[in-house]
Amino acid sequence: MNLKKLSLTLASAAFIFGSVGCGTNKPTGITVDDFVNALVEKENLTGKDGVYTYQQSFQDHAVDYTLTLKCIADSYYSYVFESTLVREISTETISGQYTSQIKFIWGRFKSSLFQGKAHFEMKKEASHFDDAHYIFYGLAFDTNGTYGYGSEEYIDPIKQEWLDLNYSPLDDTWKMTKINIEKLNTLTKSTVNCYLW
């Protein structure tokens, strides 16, 4: 499975989108509008060009992260979502960024695109940089909304010299993807009493 195929799955998922059977406050399930409206009200968000943006900075195991969730107005699905988790890297010799990005449709796990990205630059050699891009799929979840088991990775290899400096973008972006999932489930649970997946 490649990026093009996953993107096509995301863009053309043939699901009835109106409701998802989770939460108990509505017999028909929680709709995408329920979640966006509750998030907008809870976080006092202001929309711009059809996009509501929620942002949160936090620490996990003494590492600083920034989570950005974009709720993007869509004529068919009402809203589609993009959740981006970023970790900045800076040493005497290297600057860079790890990114976990999830593009998803409300409650439709099989239509979600999970990606890990990394970008590194040598500070003394402005033209010396490297990028890595990973796609994670085959993920599964427990009934309480936490990550359960199973993963496969599509790997664009990174240069050995970065690995020699103890940078492991595959492992790190995979860990960040799990954190991203956890934060999204925590956010939806606290907002509309419903796990996203």
Q: Which residues, including other chains, have CB under 8 Å from residue 33's CB and lie 6 or more apart?
A: 78, 79
In a domain, 171, yes or no: yes
Segments forming the whole domain that contains residue 146: 22-192
In a domain, 69, yes or no: yes
Q: How far apart are CA 94 and CA 122, in angstroms?
A: 5
Confidence of residue 131 (pLDDT cuts 50, 70, 90): confident
In a domain, 11, yes or no: no
* pLDDT-wise least confident of 21-25, 98-102, 106-110, 135-139: 21-25
In a domain, 7, yes or no: no
CA 152 to mean position of chain CA atoms: 16
Number of domains in the chain: 1
Query: What is the signed CA dihedral for 132, 181, 48, 192, rounded to 10 degrees?
Result: 170
Residue listed under structure tokens 């690995």: 163
Give the tens place of pLDDT for each residue, 160-193. Answer: 666 676 777 888 888 899 899 999 999 999 999 9
Give the tens place of pLDDT for each residue, 57-76. Answer: 999 999 999 999 999 999 99
In a domain, 13, yes or no: no
In a domain, 3, yes or no: no
In a domain, 17, yes or no: no
In a domain, 2, yes or no: no
Q: CB of 100 within 8 A of CB of 116?
A: yes
Q: CB of 150 within 8 A of CB of 138?
A: yes
pTM (2 d.p.):
0.79
